[in-house]
Amino acid sequence: MKHVLAVLVEDKPGVLVRVAGLFARRGFNIESLAVGRTVDPGISRMTIELEADEKTLEQVVKQLHKLVNVIKVSNLTREPSVSRELVLIKVRAPAASRAEIQQIVDTFRAKIVDVSLQSMIIEVTGNDEKLEAIQLLLSHYGILELVRTGKISLLRGAKTIRNGEGKDHGKNLL
């Protein structure tokens, strides 16, 4: 099953290597990883998307907790949350196809952010289904290049992962 973990980490040198290294070393697979600063100085947030069964997931969470620089790990898959990812797609766009592509872009509430004689760059934000759908449609015209930010997620409502599931100092999972 697919899971999305939100991980709060101390913003220390090497912290990304520690997390990425842990996944590699223990044979866990990361599907996507996004990282950036939070409103709290010195604390960054990673969103990690991974495919794992329950037992593996439990080990991933416990091993992440074991890293000294990891403050908090929350599994957002278990609670209502909003997930987004941004994709830039460079698509082949000779004059003849432009109108059609424009229509697709409008339908998906995407944006054209660059145009050349032969190509366009389309920016689209959304959840997995939406991104897959537009990608499928655009592949018909020829996708030249594509880049994704990786998924980011927040819990719905006023709850945050600091006060939400998994307790602070959430090392006491058991």
Partner 1 sequence: MKLSGAHMIVEALKRENVDVVFGYPGGKVLNLYDALYDAGITHYLSRHEQGAVHAADGYARVTGKTGVVFTTSGPGATNIVTGLANAYMDSVPLVAFTGQVATSMIGTDAFQEADIFGITLPITKHNYLVTNVEDLPRIIKEAFHLAATGRPGPVLIDLPTDVQSAVTDFRYPQTVSIPGYNPTYDGHPGQTNRAAKAIARAKKPLLYAGGGVVIAGAHEELRQLAETADIPVTTTLMGIGGFPGNHPLSLGMLGMHGTYWANMAMHKADLIIAVGARFDDRVTGDLSSFARGAKVVHIDIDPAEIGKNVSVDIPIVGDVKRVLTELLKKVAPKTHPKWLAKIEAWRQEAPLTYVQEPDGEILPQYVIESIYRETGGEALIATDVGQHQMWVAQYYRFTKPRAFVTSGGLGTMGFGLPASLGLQIGAPGETVFCIAGDGSFQMNLQELATAVSYNLPVKVAIINNRYLGMVRQWQELFYKKRYSAVDLSRSPDFVKLAEAFGAGGLRAEKPREVVPAIRKALETPGPVVIDFRVRAEENVFPMVPPNSPINEMMRGGSV
Contact with partner 1 (CB under 8 A): which of 70, 131, 134, 152?
A: 70
Token reading at 121:
């760059």
Site string for partner 1, 116-155 (x = CB under 8 A): ----------------------------------------
The dihedral formed by the CA atoms of 131, 134, 135 and 136, expressed in degrees to the nearest 10: 120
Question: How far is the C-alpha of 133 from the C-alpha of 61, rounded, in Å?
Answer: 32
- 169 contributes a contact to partner 1 by CB under 8 A: yes
Distances (CA, A) of 171 to 106, 129, 155: 46, 34, 21
Nearest alpha-carbon partner for 153 in 123, 124, 127, 133: 127
Contact with partner 1 (CB under 8 A): which of 32, 69, 119, 135?
A: 69
Part in contact with partner 1 (CB under 8 A); list of ranges 7-15, 90-98, 118-126, 157-165? 7-15
Contact with partner 1 (CB under 8 A): which of 11, 16, 18, 92?
A: 18
Strand order in the sheet with 2-10: 30-37, 43-51, 2-10, 70-75
Give the count of residues interacting with partner 1 (CB under 8 A): 26
- 59 contributes a contact to partner 1 by CB under 8 A: yes
Token reading at 96:
């003849």
| Contact residues for partner 1, defined by CB under 8 A | 9-10, 13-14, 17-18, 21, 25, 55, 58-59, 62-63, 65-72, 169, 171-174
